[in-house]
Structure 1
């Protein structure tokens, strides 16, 4: 089978990052984080007045977060065989390495922050890398914690798909879609990209564990947060911020599942 082109990998990573940015939690975090850092005043940012510091941290947080999300999406696509935490470590090092010069140019080069108050490049690198990996570690802990597993329903033991992905429970799976010869499986832990037929991936999920809403799209009904209509087109909104198209052929499936109105 042919390997995906560089363009397909990059465009897919950008698409994944945009989906994540649509999540309500992301929007709330982008509003709260700059305000918190403005009040705390790390890296000598307390020398600036409130509005100057708020603008500084808003730009820093927004730029670094968007870059970091695209970076992680690229790593997920390029290194699908690594487990979740290993991809998080690789992503964190790469993120810190290229964000360090970007932040110096962005902060000092543009005149937003004075040179004497800017942290060292090592401090920026460690902050970026450790921050990135911490986010991955928290996500891993939340969705793999024994306490959480005991409270939520377990995946059927006969579902072979769990031998291929980091998720261990069906409730962690959000959706699947076709990308060339690959199947992209989006879970609460991130994205898995597997070289296999879409029909085989659906079969390995187990009967009755999901819903085919398009020839190229499958969703976990419990991960659907709503629907949107655009003329005659219908889209299901999932908790990762994506909008999954519902084709006419499979619309009755979504209606029967109570995901859209007839």
Structure 2
């Protein structure tokens, strides 16, 4: 952020270089860069937690709208404080448009880099997969109880394992997931759709399987962002 503020101080864009001397100009850009970074960090974090399993275009739109609104307000407030300049209503639209577009590009770039460096193979596979044949080991989708067995569902197939659901859940490791029913656990990343069904809900997984959500577990599913509040 200090480097960015330094470069902007030297460049003096938007006429700021002619209005302030070097030190006040550096302080101005330092405050603006830090404030914009903080706004982006907070909004991106909230979007990542609340909408982690929504399509990219939804996350991108929400993050851009939130970041763009905050940054536009910060720019207007800081310029009013430092320069005594408040833009006319007709000038706020173009400023907001540029800010939203910039926020969208930055959010997309960060998401792309994150996906490139956070490869699934870098993480230790869940221990439950060691119980499956090699050809059935893949990304974990769901666990379901059937009699005394647990059906372990992955994107490479499924297998019945003789164990309790509670023990199977302990072996999923760091895979983000929820027990949505006394007989079912799902990996959050495997859910592609969710729909209410009376006082319950149905989750659709990436392999097309449908998993019921019990009434008692609806709050946790809403908190995970899979259903509207």
| TM-score, normalising length: structure 2 | 0.48
Bigger Rg, structure 1 or 2 = 2
| TM-score, normalising length: structure 1 | 0.42
RCO comparison, higher one (Cα < 8 Å, 6+):
1
